[in-house]
Amino acid sequence: MAAAAPADWDGAPPTYTPIGASATEVIRMEAFAVQLQAIPGVVAVTLGGSRARGVQHAGSDWDFGLYYRGALDADQLRALGHPGTVVNPGEWGRLMNGGAWWTIDGVKVDVLYRDLDVVEHWAAQAEQGRFEVDDLLGYLAGFPTYAVVGELALGRQLTGEPLARPSYPSALRDRAARIWRWRAEFHRTYAKQHVARGDDRVRAALLIRADLEEAHARMAERGEWVLNEKGLLARAGLPST
């Protein structure tokens, strides 16, 4: 099912036109956000990922954050009729707790559920310099709980009631840097134990993880949000090849 332009659209250009996307594509995606906003329980819809930060390329996905409170019925998303996969809330974990992978008019679209009560809890924890690191598929060093706060800070809100735009907490700069650096040193030390055993691949994996943890530490010291590990080493000034 295509995301049609809003019925009251007067032909004016979209609110912004990212690199690699036509005005028509942007209008369709903004209309899609309106569809998502109409789902019961949804508080707001944001644009995330590279397109929100203006660093996308022509083939970049469209990443939408679906912020809700209380229950979210995934069948409401399935009823939109887009080809792809929709999972129920909670299937992916407590933070990145579910979503949808769709193709709309030939364009790849990802929708990520975000329980606003959970996000606000970890935002309050981050203000105190507290966080946890979750094991998450696709992440080597793990997914810090403050990443969902960074999504609020860096995302582009499209619909719904205004969401918070948190700045990087000063308490988090110091404590996160210390914790990430401790984790990096632990894994570097542990990697040495694999040398004598000839476990070269395990040693290499631990050292790569340690580099990512050092990168997290450096970004925390700079007060810059980290949402994922894509390009993280280069951002932190560490070798990526």
Tokens of 238: 């560490």
Q: How do the pLDDT tens digits run along the chain, 241 residues long?
A: 334 333 333 333 334 445 456 677 778 888 899 999 999 999 999 998 777 766 666 667 889 999 999 999 999 999 999 999 999 999 998 998 999 999 888 888 999 999 999 999 999 999 999 999 999 989 999 999 999 999 999 998 999 999 999 999 999 999 999 999 999 999 999 999 998 888 999 999 999 999 999 999 999 999 999 999 999 999 999 998 8
Query: Burial of 188 by CB count in 10 Å (0-12 exposed, 13-18 middle, 19+ buried)?
Result: middle
Asked if 128 contacts 102 with a C-beta cutoff of 8 angstroms, the reply is no
**DSSP code for 229:** S
Q: Measured between alpha carbons, how far is 96 from 41 in angstroms, rounded to an integer?
A: 17
Q: Measured between alpha carbons, how far is 144 from 215 in angstroms, rounded to an integer?
A: 13
Q: Measured between alpha carbons, how far is 230 from 108 in angstroms, rounded to an integer?
A: 18
Q: Name every residue whose Cβ is closer than 8 Å to that of residue 158 and which is 6 or more positions away in sequence.
A: 30, 33, 45, 46, 47, 64
- Complete domains list, the chain, with CATH: 23-160 (3.30.460.10), 170-235 (no CATH)
Largest CA distance in the chain: 70
- Its pTM stands at 0.86
